[in-house]
Amino acid sequence: MEKTVRAHTNIALIKYWGKADAKLRLPLMSSLSMTLDQFYTDTRVVKSDQDRFFLNGSEQTGSSKQRVFDYLHVLQKRLGQTGHLRVESTNHVPTAAGLASSSSAFAALAGAFCAYYKLEVSRKELSRLARLGSGSASRSIYGGFAIWQKGTDDASSYAYALDEKPKLDLQLLAVELNQQPKFLSSTGGMSQAPSSPFFQPWLARNQEELAAMTKAIQDNDFSRLGQLAELNANEMHAINLTAAPGFTYFEPATIAAIKLVQKIRASGIECYYTIDAGPNVKILCQLKNVKEITKQFVSEFENAKIVMQSFGPGISYLD
C-alpha cells in the first residue's frame, strides 16, 4: 500500500511575489509564512498503466492534470525515475475554489512522489522539489513559521523552519467572500508585477521586512507581526494596481472587509489583514477576540464562510 502524504496550506506574512527564474521558480525575494491547521491536502501516488489524476474523487483532464504531470515529469527526469502514475488527491478546504491553495497541493505531491519511489530525501531537499511545482509549496513542508530563503540558484533556494511550535497566540480567520476562480493566476500576476515603479523599492526592503518579522515572532509580539504583515500585503496589492497594465484582485467585498478590520481595530479590538492572489481576506488576531471579530464579520457579510485557524504541522505520512 502506497503512503498518503498530508501537507497543510500556508499563508505568507511576507509575500513571494516575483520570479527571478520562472522555470526553476526561483523567487526575487525571500518570504515568510504561517502553516495553517484547518486546510490541507492528502495525496497518494500509485502505479498505473497511464497517467491519471483524481482530485476529490473525480478524474481531472485538461490544465490541472497538465500542470501536475508536467511537474511529475520534471521530478522523474531529475531523479532518474520512469513509469506512468496515478495521482489521487483530496483537498480539505471548505469549498471548491475560493481558498484552495497550490502550496499544500504541490508539497503533498512532492512528498507522495518521493514516497512512491522510496526516495530518501531530507526536508530541505523536499522543499526544493516542492518549490519546482509551486513556489509557496516550498514552505508547506514545515509547520508553524517557515522562511523560504530566495537563494541564488536551484541548490540554494529552499525553505526552512523558523519555529515549528510557536508559543505566540496567533489566530487566522479565513474569510471567504467570493468563491469564483481567480481571474489571474499567481503565476500571471507576479509576472506583471515587476512593471510597477514601486516594485524595485519594495524588493530593496525585503531583507529589512523579513528581519523585522522574524524579530516580531521571536519576541512573541503579535501587534508588530500584524502591522508588518498588513503592510507587506498592502505593498503587494499596491504594486499590482500600479503595474503596467495595472490590475487588482480586490472585489468590492474585499474593500468592505478591509474597512471593517480598520473599524474593529479603531474600536480597540486588535486585528490585521493579509490578502493573497484573490479577493478573500485573512484576519490575524488573538484568541480572546475571535468571537467578537467573527460576530461582526457575520453580521456584515451574510454569505461569507469563516474558518478559524491556528498553526498547523509540517508534512506527514499517513498509513
Gyration radius of the chain's alpha carbons: 19
Selected from 136, 192, 196, 309, the binder of ligand DP6 by CB under 6 A is 136
Contact 104, 69 (CB under 8 A): no
Binding ligand DP6 (rule: CB under 6 A), the pick from 5, 110, 253, 277 is 277
Query: What's the closest the beta carbon of residue 191 comes to ligand DP6, in angstroms?
Result: 9
Residue among 134, 157, 192, 240 that touches ligand DP6 (CB under 6 A): 134
Confirm or reject binding of residue 279 to ligand DP6 (CB under 6 A).
Answer: no
Peptide bond preceding 245: is omega within 30 degrees of 0, i.e. cis?
yes
Does 44 bind ligand DP6 (CB under 6 A)? Our answer is: no
- State how far Cα 201 lies from the chain centre: 24
By the rule CB under 6 A, 187 interacts with ligand DP6: yes
Which are the contacts of 1, defined by CB distance < 8 A and separation ≥ 6? 319
* Residue from 15, 44, 52, 150 in contact with ligand DP6 (CB under 6 A): 15
Which member of 6, 7, 16, 168 binds ligand DP6 (CB under 6 A)? Answer: 16
25 or 44: whose CB is closer to ligand DP6? 25
CB 127 within 8 A of CB 138: yes
Q: Does 186 bind ligand DP6 (CB under 6 A)?
A: yes
- Count of residues that bind ligand DP6 according to CB under 6 A: 14
Our CB check for ligand DP6 shows the closer of 191 and 227 to be 191
Taking CB under 6 A as the binding criterion, the range among 8-16, 215-223, 266-274, 299-307 that sits at the site for ligand DP6 is: 8-16
Kindly state whether residue 12 participates in binding ligand DP6, applying the rule CB under 6 A: yes
DSSP 82-94: -S-EEEEEEEESS
Binding mask 47-86 vs ligand DP6 (x if CB under 6 A, - otherwise)?
Answer: ----------------------------------------
Q: Residue 32 and residue 159: Cα distance in Å, rounded?
A: 9
DSSP 8-state code for residue 182: P
Residues near ligand DP6 (CB under 6 A) are: 12, 15-17, 25, 31, 102, 134-136, 186-187, 276-277
